[in-house]
């Protein structure tokens, strides 16, 4: 190596040492980046919900979590399988409600995550019994017939039409509190309903309305079947019927 080559090599070494922040064995590279990796998952510390609900939207009484850095996501699922950090439904704050998949017994699982994507172990799940209200049923009656379903599990109102010359005989099963019998009113006059209950142990109570108005005749008979013995034994007239099934059960 000639003198010029030696000088060039020395210059190159000097530049490298300067870039490294010094010379000799004491040199330490500048621009070195230290990466601190967060591998600690959050922990769900509280999760409570009411034991029952009347809507698919169920309130959350408490939902809390902790993390060594910070919690940045909350999620409630109906599966014990851990969600991924990018799953749909994560919220930055604990939700106040959650929507159930269906009515009945539903179990909810709480989760938390941090900014590093660490997912908590599942919190203590909660089971809620959801009972949805049954829509009211309105039944218009203008002819004889039998109804065994309308009043079962629902508040049913049976409205009887005034049909001149017709003899309407109607049988209802499942009548209970919240159900109603609505008879036609003729010219504002009170209905003269006959309550027929000759056997207060057979579970049958019958109402009969016969009216002659302006040359027209109306005849409606309604038999309620399947009453309990306790209900049947108390009913002797409209007043006692309303006492058993609620005010205005017969109108």
Question: What's residue 89's pLDDT?
Answer: 96
Is 0.85 topped by the overall pTM? no
Distance of CA 115 to the CA centre of its chain: 32
Question: What's residue 130's pLDDT?
Answer: 97
CATH class (in words) of the domain with range 43-130: mainly beta
For the chain, the domains span: 43-130, 137-245
Question: Is 25 in a helix, a strand, or coil?
Answer: helix
Query: Taking 90 as the threshold, does the pLDDT of residue 197 lie above it?
Result: no
Tell me which range, 26-35, 121-130, 184-193, is most confidently predicted by mean pLDDT: 121-130
Tokens of 130: 């959801």
Question: Is 130 in a helix, a strand, or coil?
Answer: strand
Question: What's residue 191's pLDDT?
Answer: 65
Determine which of 3-17, 84-98, 177-191, 203-217 has the lowest per-residue pLDDT on average: 3-17
Non-local (6+) Cβ contacts of 191 within 8 A are 183, 184, 185, 209, 211
DSSP 138: E
Question: What's residue 9's pLDDT?
Answer: 41
Average pLDDT over residues 51-69: 97
* Category of 246 on φ-ψ map: left (φ > 0), alpha (ψ -120 to 50) or beta: left
């Amino acid at each position: 190596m000639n003198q010029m080559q030696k000088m060039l090599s020395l210059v190159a070494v000097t530049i490298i040492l300067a870039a490294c922040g010094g010379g000799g064995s004491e040199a330490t590279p500048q621009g070195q980046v230290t990466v601190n990796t967060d591998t600690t998952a959050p922990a769900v510390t509280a999760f409570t919900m009411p034991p029952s609900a009347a809507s698919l939207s169920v309130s959350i009484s408490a939902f809390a979590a902790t993390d060594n850095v910070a919690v940045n996501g909350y999620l409630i699922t109906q599966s014990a399988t851990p969600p991924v950090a990018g799953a749909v439904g994560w919220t930055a704050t604990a939700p106040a409600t959650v929507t159930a998949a269906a009515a009945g017994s539903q179990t909810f699982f709480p989760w938390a995550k941090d900014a590093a994507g660490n997912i908590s172990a599942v919190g203590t799940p909660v089971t809620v019994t959801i009972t949805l209200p049954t829509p009211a049923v309105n039944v218009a009656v203008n002819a004889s017939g039998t109804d065994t379903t309308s009043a079962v599990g629902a508040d049913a109102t049976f409205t009887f039409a005034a049909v001149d010359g017709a003899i309407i005989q109607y049988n209802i099963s499942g009548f209970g509190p919240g159900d109603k019998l609505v008879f036609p009113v003729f010219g504002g006059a009170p209905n003269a309903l006959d309550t027929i209950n000759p056997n207060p142990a057979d579970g049958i109570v019958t109402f009969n309305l016969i009216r002659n108005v302006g040359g027209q005749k109306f005849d409606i008979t309604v038999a309620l079947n399947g009453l309990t013995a306790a209900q049947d034994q108390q009913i002797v007239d409209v007043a006692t019927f309303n006492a058993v099934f609620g005010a205005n059960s017969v109108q």
